[in-house]
Structure 1
């Protein structure tokens, strides 16, 4: 009986307390209820050049009629009207004249009676001159004049925020050309470019993928030197095959324009040789493989002969020697197909190292040469050179 009386007392006290709370609540809201309108949904910020774009969705509440945006600790604000349709609407708002820093924006929506939504807020970065001064133009590693009024640009890899670069120049027809270079391009050609001409370049950046504005470096001027071209450049082709052994990288193709034509170890060593092996297709098996045709123009100098060399190198610690056969060596002019040499039998053989047999053997009636290592002396290094005469 006592337990039942206690429960009844608690219930009476609870109902009485609730009524008092309800009376206190009505002191603030009067006889009506609080009405909230739909809030700015999916609020986003895109920072730009001393400005920002706010965007949000208007969902299903048809009563929304205006907005108010606060920033700078609510010292600045912006008001505007809205028209709600039957669909989900997107609102985009540009706010100008902002300081270059991180901002918080607060958005409230209102109906025609002044009822407000709950707060929506977003934080983001606004950019400006300070950011712009950190940007560096894309690096031009080299500018090379080519035949046919062309300039080849070699560029450094693009940094992450670079969008593209832009080149301007006057072409051979005195026309102003604007040429874009995509961020993924590291070698590009400027066509109808005057020999010894100049160009200027700037680069475009976005601080992040959603940034509102693109930022640019200043145009940077570049001068090019007048190029002197070989009047009638040469091209080279040959065939190779390989068998036996395991050693890699034994066969190479080289060119020189400062070799003095004295075919001995000392004078070969004093010359500057450029390795162009990777410019050709080189055999990997026992069938003859055509090398393809390589234009030697990039390696030639006006009024200066060029020498072509094929080398066979044996290294004692790199596996057993292989047999390399070279044939159908042909050098001819690009312009008129004039054959200037050389067949395999015209090559000058120079052996550097000890030998116990002939290591450069003419085959197929002298039209081919087989390079090979020693049968013994496998602990001795060996380099065999086969060098053309002067070609021009």
Structure 2
């Protein structure tokens, strides 16, 4: 009797083990040919029925080899435009960059940081006409560990009407050699991307919205000395987003083939990731198909 119970328990245990283990996907993929004309419909034919199937076309932003990449060497490019009104004071706006700012947005920490003046790299407005600053290369500030901060500093001297500055279309991007571009900072981030610090005259401070940064200096001859900073969030100038794939199926569906049209000539490595997954086990296979579009 005890022997019978032991065998029964063993069978049940083994059955439970089998339920926890998934089978290999048995997945493969083929195409009719390797080269296609532009705008041809390419049919990828499948064998096997994996629980999940994801497609990476091999086009920019959709390459499997970069599916877990979060940094890449590129050129950090800053762009914005400015407009200036009121007053006659000169040299009242500066563009600054720091690699050692503490991230504490107060006067003490701002003054303790080292700020490099890169205003000369930008074309600033001389009147109320919006002026593009140009493309400003910040490659010299790429650091290994410490984040980078970009700031606009306004100053106004006492005794005369001070300037009003409006900055729009602020955008900082990491541009890679293959022309893929990743946003690092944008005006649309509003107060999530920028913080304002009034250093002297409390009433003279940058206002931040999803469309612009603006500071209004004093408008009379009795206006006190003013200084206001608007500083970006911490920035990793090498940041990118992982490339993404397109989910084609899950456990509830079957799929014998898939069609795709490439939008530009080139050599592509189409990648399919097949996976069988449950809470206890996972098995996956990665299959590449080289495609030439002429």
Does the 8 A contact of 2:200 with 2:226 survive in 1? yes
Q: Would the aligned equivalents of 2:94 and 2:154 in 1 still touch at CA under 8 Å?
A: yes
Q: Which moved more, 1:285-294 or 1:253-262?
A: 285-294
Distance between the aligned counterparts of 1:231 and 1:304, measured in 2? Answer: 16
Task: Identify the residue that residue 340 of structure 1 maps to in structure 2.
Answer: 184
Q: Distance in 1 between matches of 2:85 and 2:155?
A: 15
State the TM-score, normalizing by the size of structure 2. Answer: 0.50
For the residues of structure 2 that align with 1:374 and 1:265, how far apart are their CA atoms?
A: 20
Which of 186, 189, 201 does residue 354 from structure 1 map onto? 201
The answer as to 2:165 corresponding to 1:324 is yes
Provide structure 2 residue ranges, at least 5 long, that are not aligned to the other structure: 1-71, 237-294
Structure 2 CA distance, aligned partners of 1:286 and 1:373? 15
Q: Is the partner of 2:158 in helix, strand or coil?
A: coil
Aligned partner of residue 259 in structure 1, secondary structure = coil
1:329–1:297 distance in 2 versus 1, CA, 3 Å: same
- DSSP 3-state at the match of 1:285: coil
Matched, 1:268 2:110: yes
Q: Deviations over 1:231-270 (max 9, x none)?
A: 3341111110011110001111000000011000000000
Q: Which secondary structure state, in structure 2, belongs to the residue aligned with residue 338 of structure 1?
A: strand
- Considering only aligned residues, what root-mean-square deviation do their CA atoms show, in Å? 2.0
Cα distance change of structure 1 residues 270 and 377 upon mapping to structure 2, 3 Å threshold: farther
8 Å Cα contact 2:81-2:132 kept in structure 1: yes
2:98 aligned with 1:251? no
Relative to structure 1, the CA distance from residue 378 to residue 361 in structure 2 (aligned partners, 3 Å threshold; closer, same or farther) is farther
Q: State yes or no: 1:302 paired with 2:144.
A: yes
Instruction: Give secondary structure in 2 for the equivalent of 1:236.
Output: strand
| Contact persistence 1:359–1:374 (CA under 8 A) | no
Which structure has the bigger radius of gyration?
1
SS, match of residue 104 in structure 2: coil
Q: Within 2, Cα distance between the matches of 1:391 and 1:381?
A: 31
The answer for the alignment partner of 1:218 in structure 2 is none
TM-superposed deviation, 1:379 = 5.0
Answer 1 or 2: higher relative contact order, Cα 8 Å, separation at least 6. Answer: 2
The answer for the alignment partner of 1:4 in structure 2 is none
Distance 1:390 1:361, change over 3 A: closer
C-alpha offsets along residues 2-53 of structure 1, whole Å, 9 cap, x if unaligned?
xxxxxxxxxxxxxxxxxxxxxxxxxxxxxxxxxxxxxxxxxxxxxxxxxxxx
CA pair 320-358 structure 1, distance change in 2 beyond 3 A: closer
What residue ranges of structure 1 are gaps of 5+ in the alignment? 1-229
Distance 2:233 2:207 in 1: 19
Runs of 4+ in 1 over 6 A off after TM superposition: none
Q: Give the equivalent residue in structure 1 for 2:229.
A: 385
Paired residues, number: 159
TM-score by length of 1: 0.38
- Which deviations, in whole Å up to 9, do the C-alpha atoms of 1:180-228 show, x marking residues without a partner? xxxxxxxxxxxxxxxxxxxxxxxxxxxxxxxxxxxxxxxxxxxxxxxxx
